[in-house]
Amino acid sequence: MKKFGIFYGSSTGSTSELAQRIAKAVGAEAEVHDVASADASMAADYEVLLLGSSTWGIGELQDDFDGFLPKLATQNLAGKAVALFGCGDADSYPDSFCEALALIKEGLAGTGCRFVGAYTPEGYSYDCTRSEEDGKLIGLCADEINQSDMTDERIDIWLAAIKAEL
């Protein structure tokens, strides 16, 4: 099994909790790091990077991840599989739901990494998001405020999509 590095930024704890739930679902191959204290060079230790940020305001990265992303983009990510996850509020921000994922993807464009884990959104209530491409969400979008009862099922669907691409 490939070694997974889970790197997240969290201000209120929702994305931290989501990262822990993902780690539990992945199993022993996963190690979790808060980007507030992680060094971007740690990415070299993993074959698969799971990168997560909550979305703030109208489509902004969480503060710690905003500082971590440029440092991560300078690392050698060639050949690494990268999957994205995050938390958002589809009811209050239906036009920018989980857009932090799109910002991470944009920030890592040109690094040689390969994005995995896109899946067809079902049961979501957002209007639009830059984190949807070609009818699929580019990563796990969790709405812990309005649809927390669907998160475990969405984690399973997302991880199955990732594993199918590894």
Tens-digit pLDDT profile for residues 79-96? 999 999 999 999 899 899
- State CA 73 to chain mean position distance: 15
Beta strands in 89-134 (DSSP E): 114-115, 132-133
Pairing of strands 30-34, 48-53: unpaired
Structure tokens at 85: 């996850």
Structure tokens at 144: 């812990």
58 pLDDT band, cuts 50/70/90, is confident
For the cut 70, the answer to whether the pLDDT of residue 1 exceeds it is: no
Average pLDDT over all residues of the chain = 95
Give, rounded to a whole angstrom, the gap between the first and last alpha carbons of the chain.
Answer: 10
For the cut 70, the answer to whether the pLDDT of residue 6 exceeds it is: yes
Identify whether the C-beta of residue 21 lies closer than 8 Å to the C-beta of residue 155: yes
For the cut 70, the answer to whether the pLDDT of residue 133 exceeds it is: yes
Q: Per-domain residue ranges for the chain? A: 4-165
CA pair distance 34, 46, nearest whole angstrom:
15
Q: Mean pLDDT over residues 26-49, rounded?
A: 95
CA pair distance 132, 120, nearest whole angstrom:
9
Class of 4-165 in CATH: alpha beta
CA pair distance 82, 91, nearest whole angstrom:
28
Close Cβ partners of 69 (under 8 Å, ≥ 6 residues apart): 61, 103, 104, 107, 108
